Amino acid sequence: MASVQAPGGASPGQTCVLMLIFTVLLQSLCVAITYVYFTNELKQMILRTYEETIPTIPEKQQNIPHLEREKGPQRVAAHITGTNRRRSTFSAISSK
């Protein structure tokens, strides 16, 4: 039995190649849309994380009491000065 073909119609090989090309193009389009979507989501996540972890300048100023900003540090750490408050008060008491 011979297959009957309509005049001017595509052969089965051509139909298969066209379907393969269409499938590859459709898959490429889906990958491109997925890439754009997840890139946008990742940017939004990074921006949201950045905004949550690094406060803006006015937020920092609200968290610090007004008087502490003007006075400066209350005391200097012992590892910076090389002395300890207990030793300095103890030596001052024993020298009297």
Query: Residue 78's CB: how many other CB atoms inside 10 A?
Result: 13
> Rounded distance, CA 57 to CA 92, Å?
44
> Rounded distance, CA 53 to CA 47, Å?
10
Structure tokens at 24: 């590859």
Tell me the pLDDT of the chain averaged across its residues. 75
The residue with greater pLDDT, 73 or 7, is 7
The string of pLDDT tens digits covering residues 34-45 is 999 999 999 999
Model pTM score: 0.46
Asked if 84 and 78 count as a contact pair (C-beta separation under 8 A), the reply is yes
Query: Residue 11's CB: how many other CB atoms inside 10 A?
Result: 10
